[in-house]
A and B are shown apart, each in its own frame.
Chain A
Amino acid sequence: MSPVFYLLAAITVGGGLAAVLLRNLIHCALAAAVSFAGLALLFLSLDAQFAGFVQFLVYVGAVGILIVFAILLTRNADEQEGGLFSRTWLMGLAIAAAVFAVLGWAVLRSGSVLPNQLASPVASVHDIGVALVGRYVLPLEIVALLLTAATIGAVIVAMHEKEGEQ
């Protein structure tokens, strides 16, 4: 394992932990953006350039901005009494720790049977484009429909009710 991997893993995990634990919601959103950027860099280190840059654009750009806007629109909700965590936080923490224990155990135990091709694959944007409009054209169309429906649905759900009634 290279030092670059450890650095990127530390950025990703540290950003995720900060996003979960910080008190200020804006700080949480920025820490989540750091974690998404770390994941994008991990994609780049896995020779998946296209997925890495898509991750940068979609998560660090679009989803990060969307979360910040949602926080600003629900602004006076963050001074809430009774702490950051719900009443059943101990059970949630135990479930998360148990899931990590099971996943880590499974990964470490199956180390010898996992594939390990060291030759780095070539996936140019040209190849991905040809695959998207060739073999995967039906999923691509379904995703386009899903994105249209989600955009319209999000606007309708978040729209002012009074404007719709008149």
Chain B
Amino acid sequence: MTPLTGYLLVAALVFAIGLGAALTRRNAILVLIGIELMLNAANLNLIAFWRYGPNPEALIGMMFAIFSIAVAAAEAAVGLGLVIAIYRHLHTTDLDQLNRMKG
């Protein structure tokens, strides 16, 4: 097993864990944590391919990862703001109860 294979397998495992959290947990904040785990797994893939791929001095994978971290941080802020707004409005963060679009 080459080092890159090991990193890719870890990233796949973290992605699957995040996907499982996003699909199975009932609390909206835990779903957001799952989405963050998935984004982080993608970042690990980008960095691993940058490290073991050809032409690392062009910094392409590194730049992808840095911009991806910035976008993920913005997503976390907006997502948690939405969760807080929904909680103020409906007094729950249980996704099984949030089954109507009417406010």
Give A contacts to B, CB under 8 Å. 1, 5, 9, 12-13, 16-17, 19-20, 25, 28-29, 32, 35-36, 39, 42-43, 46-48, 50-51, 54-55, 58-59, 62-63, 66-67, 69-71, 73-74, 77-78, 80, 82-89, 91-93, 95-97, 99-100, 103-104, 107-108, 111, 114-118, 120-123, 127-128, 131-132, 136, 139, 143, 146-147, 150-151, 153-155, 157-158, 160-161
Query: Smallest distance from the beta carbon of B76 to chain A beta carbons, Å?
Result: 5
**Binary interface profile of B, 38-76, with partner A (CB < 8 Å = 1, else 0)?**
001001100111111110110100110111011111111
In the complex, the number of residue pairs spanning A and B with C-beta atoms less than 8 Å apart equals: 261
**Binary interface profile of B, 1-13, with partner A (CB < 8 Å = 1, else 0)?**
1111111111011
The residue of chain A having its C-beta at the shortest distance from the C-beta of B28 within the complex is A74
CB < 8 Å neighbour of B50 from A9, A48, A83, A87: A48
Are B12 and A93 in contact (CB-based, < 8 A)? no
Query: Smallest distance from the beta carbon of B71 to chain A beta carbons, Å?
Result: 7
Are B94 and A85 in contact (CB-based, < 8 A)? no
How far is it, in angstroms, between the C-alpha of A84 and the C-alpha of B63 when the chains are bound? 38
In the bound complex, residues from chain A placing their C-beta under 8 Å from that of B51 are: 46-48, 117, 120-121
How far is it, in angstroms, between the C-alpha of A5 and the C-alpha of B102 when the chains are bound? 49
Query: Smallest distance from the beta carbon of A25 to chain B beta carbons, Å?
Result: 7
CB < 8 Å neighbour of A116 from B4, B24, B30, B82: B4
Are B18 and A16 in contact (CB-based, < 8 A)? yes
B residues 85-99 near A (Cβ < 8 Å) are: 85, 87-88, 91-96
Are A136 and B24 in contact (CB-based, < 8 A)? no
In the bound complex, residues from chain B placing their C-beta under 8 Å from that of A160 are: 88
- Known contacts A121-B51, A123-B62: A99-B32 contact under CB 8 Å: no
Query: Smallest distance from the beta carbon of A89 to chain B beta carbons, Å?
Result: 4
Are A116 and B62 in contact (CB-based, < 8 A)? no
